[in-house]
Each structure stands twice: as C-alpha cells, then as structure tokens.
C-alpha cells in the first residue's frame, strides 16, 4: 500500500507492484495478529509450564528457538519484512531521476509553506546508520546522494504498517501531540525539536498542534531530510529540516521548549542514548519538556511479552533494540540530569485506530501497559515517556 503516500512525492507503482504491496501488508497483518495470538497460546500451554520460575526473556527465546511454530512465524515475518522493501524498490528506482527535482521544486515554492532544508556535507554519518541495513532496508537511511532512500523508507512504511500508522503515516506524532495538548493545556511550546526525524512523519503533527511554534527536525541522513522537506512543503506545513547528529546538537543551551523523538532511541548504541539525553537536557529551556515515543521497557512486561518485542533485535537487523529496552527510562533521564520529580510515562491509544473521543476518555483514566502497547497490531497503543526540565 504505497496507497497511503498521496502527496506530491508519491511514486507510481504498476498494478503488479500494488498487488505485491497489498499482499505484503495483508501477510504482515496476519502474522502480527493471528499468528502472534496462536504463538502466545502455544507458548502458554506447552512451553511456559516447563520453564523455571523467574524465567527471563532470554530463557523464553531459548525455549522457543526449536519450536516449529515459532520458526514458521519468524520465517514468515522475516520474509514479509524483506517483501516490504522489494515491493516498493522498483517504483522508487524508476522515478529516482525526477524525485529530487520534484522535491527541489516543492522546496522553492513558498506559496504553500515556508520550510527550509539545511544540509551539512561534512557531517560524519554514525555507524549505526551507515554500517547497517537497519530493519533490512537496503542501504539504510543515508544511502545515495539524492532522495531515493527517503522515498523507499516512506513507501516501505506504508506497506509495513498496514494502515495502523494513520492515513499520513503520522499517527504516533498525532497521538503524542493530542495527549500533550489535552493533558497540559497551559504548556505552549514556541520552539520544538524532533530528533531522528527521518522523513518528518512525526514532525509535522507538532506544527499542526502548535501553529505558532518553530518546528525543526534533525537527522543524520540527508536523503531522508531532502524528502522530508519536499513532503512537508507539499502538505503545506512549515517545518525546518537540519542535518545534524543528535549526540552533538548544533544549538546553544536552552534553545527549545520541547525536545521530542519517535522510534529513534532503539536504533542507537547505549553510549549514544546517554549523549542524546544529555544533549536534550542541555538544549531545553527551564520548564521545557523532553518527550519520547518508544517501545515499553522489558522491566514492565512479562518475560514472554518482553521477548516478543525483542524479536526485532534477533531477527530484524535491529542490533541495539534489546539493549535499549533493557534500560530503565527513569534512570536514563536521571543520569542526564533531569529532576526525578519531573519524570512521567503514559500510554496513548492510537488516535487513528480509536478516534478522538475514545482516546480523550482513555486518557482521563489510568495509563496501563496492555497487550498491544508498542505492538503494531490491531488496537495499537503508544508508550510515551518524558521528563520536565
């Protein structure tokens, strides 16, 4: 379903390619809903009773490794992951010659939006991006000197998420901003920074939520930023995209009211996560907010559910995933100098899945991590945490 990419940088798959995309989305939906439910039932009935009390996620993994259904599940899930990228790659390749020109024309057209793009050709792309085909995306985020990698990422995400990321693939940002505007109506950020923004999916919702704010997205990957700039202009949202490393931000102390990230931290080595938190603390104004959407930590899940989320670390080329999920968010914030009484975490139901009324009602009650928290499956809910500076 590159069907969800409807702005001016959309590519044009053939009917056969669309069929392959639709099949891939449906296969992923089947694996992550129906097969996942069967796997859990099978684990509880046949494997859990044989595990010692206090078994860890690693013990669950060791026990499942030889299970035929788990192997079938993993093979199908990995196959579907590779099909995500192969189902969109040809359409992007066919149009790669014109995509950069289309993005440049959108950037130059200030009638719809007045966003900017600032690239730094001297920036060293860190190895967690340059040396890894992360989640099996061929070449990763920074491949090439045009915008094709951004197009592959967005079109791939459209197939990958089988509708669960919203009609603009921005459900995490929309849901996060909905939560913040409803829960802290007095907080009116004027300067917002999105770390590891990629093609800007979750950056633009902040400008929609806070139209007076200056919204900036940074990333190390120039192809994604070129694409993000054209995409934002096409959607009529003014945002500024800057090539920078979140571990060494090119901003003075106390520059931002809100520092946000989405699906970013689990792609960093632990030493860089510490640097990112320290940088967020440094560039936040007093009273500002650091806010992250991420996978819930292992310490707050059962051994099985923790292992289930860590599947990506073992089988999906996400080498830092489990190490990140083994961290305690409270400690990460405290080690960066955030005040302990400013920490919070919450669960935000997906705005696209549940709708505004149901989400507003849910947010009035206690935030509990449920079976679909952080899982791309029907009924998805987002785990969000942060610290006031």
Ligand X SMILES: C[S@@+](CC[C@H](N)C(=O)[O-])C[C@H]1O[C@@H](n2cnc3c(N)ncnc32)[C@H](O)[C@@H]1O
Residue nearer to ligand X on the CB measure, 55 or 80: 80
171 binds ligand X (CB under 6 A): no
137 binds ligand X (CB under 6 A): no
Residue nearer to ligand X on the CB measure, 319 or 342: 319
Looking at 17, 146, 154, 219, which residue binds ligand X (CB under 6 A)? 219
DSSP code of 324?
H
Q: Which of 155, 173, 163 is nearest to 99 (CA)?
A: 155
Phi/psi for 306 (5° steps) reads -65, -50
DSSP code of 232?
H
Quote the least distance from Cβ 106 to ligand X, whole Å: 19
- Closest-approach residue to ligand X (CB): 196
- Three-state secondary structure string covering 162-178: CCCCCCCCCHHHHHHHH
Residue nearer to ligand X on the CB measure, 146 or 245: 245
When computed from its CA atoms, the radius of gyration of the chain, rounded to whole angstroms, is 20
Environment class of 319 (CB within 10 Å of its CB; exposed 0-12, middle 13-18, buried 19+): middle
262 binds ligand X (CB under 6 A): yes
**Distance (Å, whole) CA 382 – CA 175:** 8
Task: Name residue, tokens 């996560």.
Answer: 273
372 binds ligand X (CB under 6 A): no
349 binds ligand X (CB under 6 A): no
Q: Are strands 191-195 and 214-219 parallel, antiparallel or unpaired?
A: parallel
Q: Which stretch binds ligand X (CB under 6 A): 98-106, 176-184, 215-223, 323-331?
A: 215-223
216 binds ligand X (CB under 6 A): no
Looking at 25, 74, 202, 229, which residue binds ligand X (CB under 6 A)? 202
- Are 148 and 93 in contact, with CB atoms under 8 Å apart? yes
Residue nearer to ligand X on the CB measure, 55 or 262: 262
Residue nearer to ligand X on the CB measure, 194 or 257: 194
Helix (H) / strand (E) containing 195: strand 191-195
DSSP string covering 242-295, please? EE--TTS-SS-SS-EEEEEEES-GGGS-HHHHHHHHHHHHHHEEEEEEEEEEEP
Among residue numbers 266 through 285, which ones bind ligand X (CB under 6 A)? 267-268, 272
128 binds ligand X (CB under 6 A): yes
Site map for ligand X, 18-57, x if CB under 6 A?
----------------------------------------
Q: Which of 240, 270, 249, 316 is nearest to 82 (CA)?
A: 316
26-33, long-range: CB < 8 A, 24+ apart: 26/162, 27/76, 27/80, 27/83, 28/77, 28/80, 28/84, 28/159, 28/160, 28/162, 29/162, 29/378, 31/73, 31/76, 31/77, 31/80, 32/77, 32/375, 32/376, 32/377, 33/377, 33/378
238 binds ligand X (CB under 6 A): no
Looking at 25, 81, 175, 247, which residue binds ligand X (CB under 6 A)? 247
Residue nearer to ligand X on the CB measure, 25 or 262: 262
Q: Which stretch binds ligand X (CB under 6 A): 9-17, 21-29, 265-273, 319-327?
A: 265-273
290 binds ligand X (CB under 6 A): no
220 binds ligand X (CB under 6 A): yes
Looking at 70, 85, 141, 321, which residue binds ligand X (CB under 6 A)? 141
Quote the least distance from Cβ 134 to ligand X, whole Å: 7
Quote the least distance from Cβ 263 to ligand X, whole Å: 4
Q: At what angle do helices 15-29 and 68-108 cross, to 10 degrees?
A: 130
Residues that bind ligand X in the complex, under the rule CB under 6 A: 126, 128-129, 141, 172, 196-198, 201-202, 218-221, 224, 245-247, 262-264, 267-268, 272
């Amino acid at each position: 379903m590159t069907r969800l990419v409807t702005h001016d940088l959309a590519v044009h798959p053939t009917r056969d390619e669309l069929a392959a995309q639709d099949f891939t989305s449906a296969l992923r939906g089947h694996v992550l809903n129906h097969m996942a439910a069967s796997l859990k039932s099978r684990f509880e009935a046949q494997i859990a009773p044989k595990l010692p009390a206090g078994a860890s996620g690693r013990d669950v993994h060791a026990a499942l490794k030889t299970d035929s259904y788990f192997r079938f599940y993993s093979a199908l899930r990995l196959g579907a992951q590779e099909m995500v990228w192969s189902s969109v790659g040809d359409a992007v390749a066919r149009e790669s010659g014109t995509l950069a020109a289309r993005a440049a024309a959108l950037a130059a057209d200030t009638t719809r939006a007045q966003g900017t793009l600032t690239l730094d050709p001297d920036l060293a792309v860190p190895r967690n991006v340059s040396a890894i085909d992360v989640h099996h995306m061929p070449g990763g985020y920074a491949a090439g000197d045009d915008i094709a990698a951004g197009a592959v990422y967005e079109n791939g995400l459209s197939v990958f998420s089988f509708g669960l990321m919203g009609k603009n693939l921005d459900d995490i940002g929309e849901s996060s901003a909905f939560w913040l505007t409803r829960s802290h109506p007095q907080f009116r950020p004027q300067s917002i920074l999105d770390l590891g923004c990629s093609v800007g999916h979750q950056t633009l919702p902040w400008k929609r939520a806070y139209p007076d704010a200056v919204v900036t997205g940074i990333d190390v990957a120039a192809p994604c930023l070129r694409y993000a700039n054209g995409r934002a202009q096409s959607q009529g949202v003014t945002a500024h995209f800057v090539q920078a490393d979140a571990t060494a931000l090119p901003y003075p102390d106390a520059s931002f009211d809100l520092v946000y990230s989405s699906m970013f931290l689990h792609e960093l080595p632990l030493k860089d996560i510490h640097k990112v938190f320290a940088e967020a603390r440094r560039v936040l104004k007093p009273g500002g907010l650091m806010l992250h959407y991420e996978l819930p930590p292992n310490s707050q899940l059962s051994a099985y559910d923790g292992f289930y989320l860590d599947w990506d670390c073992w089988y999906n080329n996400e080498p830092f995933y489990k190490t990140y999920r083994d961290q305690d968010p409270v400690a990460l914030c405290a080690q960066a100098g955030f005040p302990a009484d400013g920490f919070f975490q919450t669960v935000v139901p997906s705005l696209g899945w549940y709708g505004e009324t149901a989400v507003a009602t849910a947010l009035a009650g206690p935030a509990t991590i449920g079976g679909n928290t952080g899982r791309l499956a029907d009924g998805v809910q987002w785990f969000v945490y942060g610290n006031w500076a």
